[in-house]
Amino acid sequence: MKFPNYNRYKLTQKLKTFIAFNVCLLTLPLLSVHVVCDTKQDSIYEERPRVLLIGDSISIGYTSEVKKRLHEIAHVERIDGNAASTVNGLRKIDSWLIGKSYDIIHFNWGLHDIAYRSENSSHKNKLDKLNGKKKVEIDNYRSNLKNLVDRLKKTGALLIWASTTVVPDDEPGRFPQDVVAYNAVASAIMQNNEIITNDLYSLSKSFSSDMFVAPRNVHFSKLGSSVLGTKVAKAIKRQIQ
């Protein structure tokens, strides 16, 4: 499959090559040494569509597996740092996209939105679902995510939404039912915009304890992240081939 942004990239590369070659030809008579005007390009790079991963620390965990599995057919990048909540996404989305071109964008927001935090919590991340305040209420999440999708659609890239991964029952800062509710909101938005969904929630819900980094923790072990990364890579590869 060829993507609009990929085709624009190819045209830009050809234009750069044309200009460089003609500049070389014009300057050759002025040089006293033998020079060959080489127009060879990195054909392997040129043939690979560009992929961007957007997400929180779950995404950070599976990025290396995605890159490993797609290195021969795609150029995979990830945003700098943690995408965190939809509030953070709206604040930083332009800095992630302006001046860049991608053919596929695989994205997620959710775990940070449903997190309850309290300054009085003894937890290192201030998580506290009993006394804390939720980062983003569901109506605001819906509005924020709609705006983020609108912005991502302007890139012309093929978009893939990743459903938010599972929350253990006794996780200190989040309620499992919130994941289900927020995923339902996201699912409706993606359907309305004809955006592909990569169901990481169902996959992570099937994980055994060794797939998590620790009990009561939303993060995944190296094995868990590898399994997630494999599914992400397959979802992207399906759109390329």
Q: Which residues contact 177 (CB under 8 A, 6 or more apart)?
A: none
CA distance 64 to 84: 19
Architecture of domain 48-240: 3-Layer(aba) Sandwich (3.40)
**How is residue 134 annotated by DSSP?**
E
Kindly list the distances between the CA atom of residue 220 and the CA atoms of 187, 209, 230, in Å, as whole numbers in the listed order: 23, 9, 14
Evaluate if pTM is beyond 0.85: no
Q: Which pLDDT does position 139 carry in this prediction? A: 98
Please give the pLDDT value at position 30: 57
The confidence score (pLDDT) of residue 140 equals 98
Q: Consecutive 10-residue runs of the chain (241 residues): their mean pLDDT?
A: 55 52 58 50 64 98 98 97 98 97 98 97 95 98 98 98 97 98 98 98 97 97 98 97 79
Residue 35: how many other CB atoms lie within 10 Å: 10
Gap between the Cα atoms of 15 and 241, Å rounded: 27
- Residue 117 DSSP SS3: strand
Range(s) of the chain covered by CATH 3.40.50.1110: 48-240
What is the spatial distance between Cα 156 and Cα 151, in angstroms, rounded to a whole number? 10
Whole-Å CA distances, 85 to 55, 137, 208, 223: 9, 11, 27, 25
Instruction: Write down the pLDDT at residue 197.
Output: 98
